[in-house]
A and B are shown apart, each in its own frame.
Chain A
Amino acid sequence: MESIMGVHEAALLFRARRMEVLAANLANADTPHYQARDLEFKSVLDERLGAATLKTTNSRHLAIDPLASRDSLKYRIPHQPSLDGNTVEADLELARYAENAVSYQASLLFATGKINSLRAALTGGR
């Protein structure tokens, strides 16, 4: 059965994971040789929707979670690389973090709307 949240559940997971990635970039804004990374929405969405997932036929098989795999993490190309090899641009990271937070809230709003309409259907609008 499809989750009542639809795609928004996966979107929330993606946004939460990206929040961690961006937080790690900001935490390492002053670490020499740190390479900034980011999750790409399109690649994660493709992995979620696409058929190319590994099937698990035994309880001991490892399921591949696209959000946890390193492949969906991409290194950022810096606009202004710094001398110590750090590629974090703190102001840009903060802007992306804010954008990600707004998208997270948008997904939350959609999910709330789903719940509210389900509740309205169950109670007959009373």
Chain B
Amino acid sequence: MSAFSTFDIAGSALSAQSLRLNLTASNLANMHNVAGDPAAVYRGRQAVFQAAQDPFGSVLAGVDVLGVIESTAEPIERYDPGNPQANEQGIVYASSVNAMEEMANMISASRSYQSNLEVINTAKDLMLRTLSLGQG
């Protein structure tokens, strides 16, 4: 048993939440992309989280990112013959990323990041105090 596993646990959450923030940034940056082919349109990306299992039997081991999934929502069809990317019928396909959902996701990720950072800071303080136990 080591008190330092708190840092591993909270650290895994920091990296998971920052991945989520990066994906939100990517989704927001690409939400206005259009394409003439529905298959080529940008699809929103989301991280999938799973509670990590410690291989040595202890039940506590932070969070794992299983992977990144792409949204299966249908792209939005729009008639825009002036667009250079429109197909022969004058149709462009726009990404179905929802800005409101992404903003809510961003706030959730940043709050979680903050609370895990707080966990690390507190644990660091306590460990430093423990190290100086009995001095002075």
Residue A64 lies at the interface, judged by CB distance under 8 Å to chain B: no
Query: In the complex, are the beta carbons of A30 and B49 less than 8 A apart?
Result: yes
Task: Give chain B's interface secondary structure class.
Answer: helix
Task: Give chain A's interface secondary structure class.
Answer: helix
Chain A interface, number of residues (Cβ within 8 angstroms): 35
Query: In the complex, are the beta carbons of B63 and A108 less than 8 A apart?
Result: no
Q: Scan residues 30-85 of chain A and give those whose CB is less than 8 A from a CB of chain B.
A: 30-32, 34, 37, 65, 67-68, 70, 73
Query: In the complex, are the beta carbons of A26 and B60 less than 8 A apart?
Result: no
Q: Scan residues 80-135 of chain B and give those whose CB is less than 8 A from a CB of chain A.
A: 108-109, 111-112, 115-116, 118-119, 122-123, 125-126, 129-130, 133-134
**Option from A23, A30, A34, A65 in Cβ contact (under 8 Å) with B6:** A23
Residue B31 lies at the interface, judged by CB distance under 8 Å to chain A: no
Residue B23 lies at the interface, judged by CB distance under 8 Å to chain A: no
Residue A115 lies at the interface, judged by CB distance under 8 Å to chain B: yes
Query: In the complex, are the beta carbons of A27 and B118 less than 8 A apart?
Result: no
Residue pairs across A and B with CB atoms within 8 Å: the count is 98
Query: In the complex, are the beta carbons of B134 and A115 less than 8 A apart?
Result: yes
Q: A68-B58, A105-B126 are in contact. Are A20 and B9 (CB under 8 A)?
A: yes
Query: In the complex, are the beta carbons of B51 and A97 less than 8 A apart?
Result: no
Residues of A within 8 A of B (CB): 12-13, 16-17, 19-24, 26-32, 34, 37, 65, 67-68, 70, 73, 90, 94, 97-98, 101, 104-105, 108, 111-112, 115
Residues of B within 8 A of A (CB): 1, 3, 5-6, 9-10, 12-13, 16-17, 20, 49-51, 58-63, 108-109, 111-112, 115-116, 118-119, 122-123, 125-126, 129-130, 133-134
9 tightest Cβ-Cβ pairs between the two chains A and B:
A27-B13, A24-B60, A115-B134, A31-B49, A23-B9, A16-B3, A27-B62, A23-B6, A27-B63
